[in-house]
Amino acid sequence: DGMLVTPSGLAYDAMEPADVVHVRADGSVAPGQRRPSTEWHFHLAAYRARPDMHALVHSHSLNATVLACAGKPIPAFHYMVAVAGGTDIPLVPYATFGTEELASHVARGLTDRKACLMAHHGQVAMGPTLAAALELAHEVEVLAEQYLKVLTLGPVARLSDAERTRIRAHRMGFVFQSYNLVPTLTAIENVMLAADYAGKERSTARRRATEALAWVGLETRAGHRPMELSGGEQQRAALARALVN
Protein backbone atom coordinates (compact mmCIF):
# COMPACT_ATOMS: atom_id res chain seq x y z
CA ASP A 1 0.00 0.00 0.00
CA GLY A 2 3.02 2.28 -0.33
CA MET A 3 6.31 2.93 1.45
CA LEU A 4 7.95 4.85 4.27
CA VAL A 5 10.60 7.38 3.31
CA THR A 6 12.62 10.05 5.09
CA PRO A 7 11.31 13.62 4.92
CA SER A 8 12.81 16.41 2.85
CA GLY A 9 14.87 19.17 4.46
CA LEU A 10 15.27 17.62 7.92
CA ALA A 11 18.65 16.67 9.37
CA TYR A 12 18.92 12.99 10.26
CA ASP A 13 20.03 13.71 13.83
CA ALA A 14 16.92 15.82 14.35
CA MET A 15 14.53 13.26 12.92
CA GLU A 16 11.91 11.48 15.03
CA PRO A 17 9.90 8.37 14.05
CA ALA A 18 6.83 10.57 13.52
CA ASP A 19 8.73 12.55 10.85
CA VAL A 20 8.99 9.55 8.52
CA VAL A 21 6.58 9.99 5.62
CA HIS A 22 4.15 7.41 4.28
CA VAL A 23 3.91 7.66 0.50
CA ARG A 24 1.00 5.77 -1.02
CA ALA A 25 1.48 3.38 -3.94
CA ASP A 26 0.14 6.06 -6.30
CA GLY A 27 2.70 8.59 -5.04
CA SER A 28 0.28 10.64 -2.97
CA VAL A 29 0.85 11.72 0.63
CA ALA A 30 -1.85 12.11 3.26
CA PRO A 31 -2.37 15.65 4.62
CA GLY A 32 -0.56 16.56 7.80
CA GLN A 33 2.71 14.80 6.96
CA ARG A 34 6.04 16.34 6.07
CA ARG A 35 7.13 16.52 2.45
CA PRO A 36 8.83 13.27 1.41
CA SER A 37 12.40 13.16 0.16
CA THR A 38 12.75 14.63 -3.32
CA GLU A 39 13.98 11.18 -4.39
CA TRP A 40 10.74 9.41 -3.49
CA HIS A 41 10.05 8.75 -7.19
CA PHE A 42 12.93 6.34 -7.66
CA HIS A 43 12.32 4.70 -4.28
CA LEU A 44 8.78 3.87 -5.33
CA ALA A 45 9.89 2.77 -8.82
CA ALA A 46 12.52 0.47 -7.28
CA TYR A 47 9.94 -1.25 -5.08
CA ARG A 48 7.69 -1.76 -8.09
CA ALA A 49 10.60 -3.30 -10.02
CA ARG A 50 11.64 -5.49 -7.09
CA PRO A 51 8.60 -6.63 -5.09
CA ASP A 52 10.86 -9.15 -3.34
CA MET A 53 12.81 -6.30 -1.72
CA HIS A 54 11.38 -4.36 1.23
CA ALA A 55 14.02 -1.74 2.00
CA LEU A 56 16.17 0.72 0.06
CA VAL A 57 19.20 2.78 1.09
CA HIS A 58 20.36 5.68 -1.07
CA SER A 59 23.59 7.51 -0.32
CA HIS A 60 26.26 9.76 -1.77
CA SER A 61 29.05 7.73 -0.16
CA LEU A 62 32.44 9.10 -1.19
CA ASN A 63 34.03 6.35 -3.27
CA ALA A 64 30.86 5.08 -4.93
CA THR A 65 30.03 8.65 -5.92
CA VAL A 66 33.52 9.25 -7.33
CA LEU A 67 33.11 6.22 -9.59
CA ALA A 68 29.59 7.29 -10.52
CA CYS A 69 30.85 10.75 -11.50
CA ALA A 70 33.65 9.19 -13.55
CA GLY A 71 31.15 7.04 -15.42
CA LYS A 72 32.58 3.78 -14.12
CA PRO A 73 30.54 0.76 -13.00
CA ILE A 74 32.22 -1.76 -10.68
CA PRO A 75 33.27 -4.86 -12.64
CA ALA A 76 34.09 -8.32 -11.31
CA PHE A 77 37.57 -7.37 -10.08
CA HIS A 78 36.79 -9.09 -6.73
CA TYR A 79 34.52 -12.02 -6.03
CA MET A 80 32.50 -10.00 -3.49
CA VAL A 81 30.99 -7.98 -6.35
CA ALA A 82 28.53 -10.89 -6.56
CA VAL A 83 26.97 -9.62 -3.31
CA ALA A 84 24.91 -7.23 -5.46
CA GLY A 85 23.35 -10.17 -7.26
CA GLY A 86 25.29 -10.36 -10.51
CA THR A 87 28.60 -10.09 -12.33
CA ASP A 88 29.00 -6.36 -11.76
CA ILE A 89 27.55 -3.36 -9.96
CA PRO A 90 26.12 -1.40 -12.89
CA LEU A 91 26.02 2.33 -13.50
CA VAL A 92 22.66 3.75 -14.55
CA PRO A 93 22.47 6.89 -16.75
CA TYR A 94 22.21 10.38 -15.34
CA ALA A 95 18.93 12.23 -15.02
CA THR A 96 17.95 15.23 -12.90
CA PHE A 97 17.25 14.35 -9.27
CA GLY A 98 13.62 13.95 -8.29
CA THR A 99 12.42 13.16 -11.82
CA GLU A 100 10.50 10.24 -13.28
CA GLU A 101 13.35 9.83 -15.79
CA LEU A 102 15.78 9.11 -12.97
CA ALA A 103 13.23 6.77 -11.37
CA SER A 104 13.02 4.83 -14.63
CA HIS A 105 16.81 4.50 -14.85
CA VAL A 106 17.11 3.26 -11.27
CA ALA A 107 14.26 0.76 -11.66
CA ARG A 108 15.90 -0.73 -14.75
CA GLY A 109 19.27 -0.90 -13.00
CA LEU A 110 17.77 -2.83 -10.09
CA THR A 111 15.74 -5.27 -12.17
CA ASP A 112 18.40 -7.98 -11.88
CA ARG A 113 20.70 -6.43 -9.28
CA LYS A 114 20.32 -5.41 -5.65
CA ALA A 115 22.58 -2.37 -6.00
CA CYS A 116 23.73 0.07 -8.65
CA LEU A 117 25.64 3.30 -9.07
CA MET A 118 23.82 6.41 -10.31
CA ALA A 119 25.79 8.53 -12.78
CA HIS A 120 26.90 11.90 -11.32
CA HIS A 121 24.88 11.16 -8.21
CA GLY A 122 25.63 8.26 -5.84
CA GLN A 123 24.52 4.71 -5.14
CA VAL A 124 21.42 2.78 -4.18
CA ALA A 125 21.10 -0.63 -2.51
CA MET A 126 18.09 -2.82 -1.72
CA GLY A 127 17.42 -5.68 0.65
CA PRO A 128 14.63 -7.70 2.25
CA THR A 129 15.16 -5.66 5.43
CA LEU A 130 16.54 -2.21 6.21
CA ALA A 131 19.54 -3.79 7.95
CA ALA A 132 20.30 -5.89 4.85
CA ALA A 133 20.01 -2.89 2.53
CA LEU A 134 22.30 -0.82 4.76
CA GLU A 135 24.84 -3.64 4.93
CA LEU A 136 24.84 -3.93 1.14
CA ALA A 137 25.28 -0.17 0.71
CA HIS A 138 28.30 -0.36 3.01
CA GLU A 139 29.72 -3.28 1.01
CA VAL A 140 29.26 -1.35 -2.25
CA GLU A 141 31.21 1.56 -0.76
CA VAL A 142 34.01 -0.78 0.36
CA LEU A 143 34.21 -2.35 -3.10
CA ALA A 144 34.19 1.11 -4.69
CA GLU A 145 37.14 2.18 -2.56
CA GLN A 146 39.05 -1.00 -3.40
CA TYR A 147 38.35 -0.62 -7.12
CA LEU A 148 39.49 3.00 -7.12
CA LYS A 149 42.79 2.00 -5.54
CA VAL A 150 43.28 -0.85 -8.00
CA LEU A 151 42.67 1.58 -10.88
CA THR A 152 45.67 3.65 -9.77
CA LEU A 153 47.94 0.65 -10.38
CA GLY A 154 47.07 0.21 -14.06
CA PRO A 155 44.77 -2.10 -16.03
CA VAL A 156 42.38 -4.02 -13.79
CA ALA A 157 42.34 -7.81 -13.97
CA ARG A 158 38.85 -9.25 -13.87
CA LEU A 159 37.56 -12.65 -12.87
CA SER A 160 36.50 -14.78 -15.81
CA ASP A 161 32.89 -15.82 -16.35
CA ALA A 162 33.85 -19.41 -15.56
CA GLU A 163 35.49 -18.40 -12.28
CA ARG A 164 32.52 -16.28 -11.23
CA THR A 165 30.21 -19.22 -11.87
CA ARG A 166 32.52 -21.56 -9.97
CA ILE A 167 32.68 -19.22 -6.97
CA ARG A 168 28.93 -18.86 -6.83
CA ALA A 169 28.39 -22.60 -7.12
CA HIS A 170 31.15 -23.89 -4.85
CA ARG A 171 32.10 -21.11 -2.46
CA MET A 172 29.17 -18.80 -1.98
CA GLY A 173 26.47 -21.40 -2.48
CA PHE A 174 23.12 -19.81 -3.25
CA VAL A 175 22.38 -18.11 0.06
CA PHE A 176 20.17 -15.02 -0.19
CA GLN A 177 18.57 -13.20 2.71
CA SER A 178 15.31 -13.13 0.77
CA TYR A 179 15.66 -16.88 -0.03
CA ASN A 180 15.19 -16.38 -3.81
CA LEU A 181 13.56 -19.76 -4.30
CA VAL A 182 12.17 -20.33 -7.79
CA PRO A 183 8.39 -20.29 -7.21
CA THR A 184 7.55 -22.85 -9.91
CA LEU A 185 10.01 -25.46 -8.60
CA THR A 186 9.59 -27.76 -5.63
CA ALA A 187 11.90 -27.59 -2.64
CA ILE A 188 14.07 -30.44 -3.89
CA GLU A 189 14.23 -28.95 -7.40
CA ASN A 190 15.35 -25.61 -5.94
CA VAL A 191 18.07 -27.34 -3.96
CA MET A 192 19.16 -29.32 -7.03
CA LEU A 193 19.78 -26.06 -8.93
CA ALA A 194 23.01 -25.46 -7.03
CA ALA A 195 24.25 -28.97 -7.80
CA ASP A 196 23.25 -28.57 -11.43
CA TYR A 197 25.27 -25.36 -11.71
CA ALA A 198 28.22 -27.16 -10.15
CA GLY A 199 28.07 -29.72 -12.97
CA LYS A 200 26.98 -32.74 -10.94
CA GLU A 201 25.15 -35.65 -12.56
CA ARG A 202 21.38 -35.47 -12.12
CA SER A 203 21.28 -38.63 -10.03
CA THR A 204 24.04 -37.28 -7.79
CA ALA A 205 22.33 -33.90 -7.61
CA ARG A 206 19.05 -35.47 -6.48
CA ARG A 207 20.79 -37.63 -3.89
CA ARG A 208 22.73 -34.68 -2.50
CA ALA A 209 19.59 -32.50 -2.48
CA THR A 210 17.68 -35.18 -0.60
CA GLU A 211 20.46 -35.39 1.99
CA ALA A 212 20.63 -31.59 2.33
CA LEU A 213 16.88 -31.33 2.89
CA ALA A 214 17.15 -34.03 5.55
CA TRP A 215 19.92 -32.05 7.28
CA VAL A 216 17.53 -29.12 7.68
CA GLY A 217 14.50 -31.24 8.58
CA LEU A 218 12.58 -30.80 5.33
CA GLU A 219 12.66 -34.35 3.98
CA THR A 220 8.86 -34.57 4.18
CA ARG A 221 8.42 -31.22 2.39
CA ALA A 222 10.66 -31.93 -0.61
CA GLY A 223 7.78 -31.97 -3.08
CA HIS A 224 6.24 -28.68 -1.96
CA ARG A 225 6.66 -25.39 -3.80
CA PRO A 226 7.82 -22.22 -1.96
CA MET A 227 4.30 -20.81 -1.56
CA GLU A 228 3.34 -24.04 0.23
CA LEU A 229 6.18 -23.61 2.72
CA SER A 230 6.28 -21.37 5.77
CA GLY A 231 8.84 -18.57 5.96
CA GLY A 232 11.05 -20.70 8.21
CA GLU A 233 10.80 -23.65 5.83
CA GLN A 234 11.74 -21.45 2.88
CA GLN A 235 14.76 -20.25 4.83
CA ARG A 236 15.80 -23.85 5.54
CA ALA A 237 15.32 -24.79 1.87
CA ALA A 238 17.64 -21.91 0.91
CA LEU A 239 20.16 -23.16 3.47
CA ALA A 240 19.93 -26.68 2.04
CA ARG A 241 20.65 -25.26 -1.40
CA ALA A 242 23.80 -23.62 -0.03
CA LEU A 243 24.93 -26.86 1.64
CA VAL A 244 24.31 -29.20 -1.28
CA ASN A 245 27.77 -28.81 -2.82
Asked if 221 contacts 153 with a C-beta cutoff of 8 angstroms, the reply is no
Active site residue 139: no
**φ, ψ dihedrals at 223, nearest 5°:** -90, 5
Of 16, 39, 201, 228, the catalytic one is 39
Asked if 192 contacts 211 with a C-beta cutoff of 8 angstroms, the reply is no
* Dist. CA 113–CA 50, nearest whole Å: 9
DSSP string, 31-75: TTSPPBPTTHHHHHHHHHH-TT--EEEEE--HHHHHHHHTT--B-
Asked if 36 contacts 5 with a C-beta cutoff of 8 angstroms, the reply is yes
Continuous segment of H or E residues that includes residue 127: strand 122-127
* Dist. CA 64–CA 59, nearest whole Å: 9
Give catalytic residue positions.
39
